[in-house]
Amino acid sequence: MNTANQYLKAIYLIQKQENNPAATGRVADMLDVSPASANEMIGKLEARGLAEHEKYKGVRLTDDGIVRARDALQTYCIIERFLTNVLDVKEFRAEARELESVIDGTVAERLDTIIDRKPECPDCFDPEMDACACLDVELEVEPPAD
Amino acid sequence: MSLSQQVSSDRQLARLLQIGIVLEEVVEARAHHHYQSLSDDERVLDPEIEQLLSHAADESADHRKRLEALIQDLSVDSIPFDEIETLVEARYGQTKPDDFDGVLYDQLCNEETAYKFYDDLIEAIEASDASFSVDRDQLLEVLRGLRAEERDGAEEVTKIMEERE
């Protein structure tokens, strides 16, 4: 289980979208957690050398953090694609979110051997849709979490 | 996107067990095709490899059945296993390892990946206080049994690899 990877993925997507450090509030919103929880985890990521927090600006990933975030995003893309292409799961985004903390990168690599993943992965990931843009499915924007 | 770190429902548990079945299918298919790729001469010369691959395929089939039995006891719709089997088979029908080292290395990856999967799944279930429609103790007992067999399998392959160095 890896909550840190989910934070790294969220920070990576926000800082890529905005080309700026990710505001802690946006990270908290994206993960549907309290700002206090987000601050606590960002502190842990800083201590591990994966992120740097800039006062009044937000959090930015270090090079090591970016590598790990991209790995986590790739694992997430594999899970989404596996659910859609192999198991034909309609609610694949909701299920991928439930599964990502239990499916390790090593396991995802094995699942990757039976799906057709595009070479541009994980840059194909669309954070607005919370899905790989190359998936051959009709997507609608999901309503925000309660 | 939201944060999730536990197994909290029958549906989520069933999906994870289903992923376990797919991993076992992959192991079984790869072991079977590696076994088939051995020529008659190689089988005579290397009964240890032959026995290893044959055992791996049988064990994965057995693991799959144990996972299927768990899913059947959960309150979820059934899952079309035949389609998964066909898809995995189609993927590996054409593969052929380069040599015995490739066969052993691939088998080690298979065993280690399955071990990691069961280990993470057990940890996630233990961290959850959700109740499932299968007996929790029985569920964990089955998964711990599968994990132990994958660990033994990885140790067996490692031993053979070390002896051949």
Q: How far apart are CA B27 and CA A17, in angstroms?
A: 39
Which DSSP letter does residue A54 get? Answer: E
Tell me if B21 sits within 8 A of B133, measured CB to CB.
no
Contact yes or no for B120 and A111 at CB 8 A: no
Note whether ipTM > 0.85 here.
Answer: no
- Given this model, what pLDDT does residue A1 score? 45
What pLDDT, in 10s, does the model give residues A81-137? 999 888 888 889 989 988 988 898 889 988 888 887 888 888 888 888 888 887 877
pTM of the model: 0.85
Gap between the Cα atoms of B163 and B165, Å rounded: 6
The CATH architecture to which A3-66 belongs is Orthogonal Bundle (1.10)
Residue A144 is predicted with a pLDDT of 58
Are A31 and B4 an interchain contact pair (Cβ–Cβ within 8 Å)?
no
**Mean pLDDT in each 10-residue stretch from start to end of chain B (165 residues)?**
69 91 85 73 72 87 92 76 75 61 83 93 90 92 96 92 83
Query: Does the CB of B88 have a partner CB in chain A at under 8 Å?
Result: yes
Contact B77, A88 (CB under 8 A): no
- Residue B21 structure tokens: 């079945």
Q: Which fold has domain A70-132?
A: Diphtheria Toxin Repressor; domain 2 (1.10.60)
Fold of B10-163: Ferritin (1.20.1260)
**What is the arithmetic mean of pLDDT over A5-12?**
93
Q: Which residue ranges make up each domain of chain A?
A: 3-66, 70-132
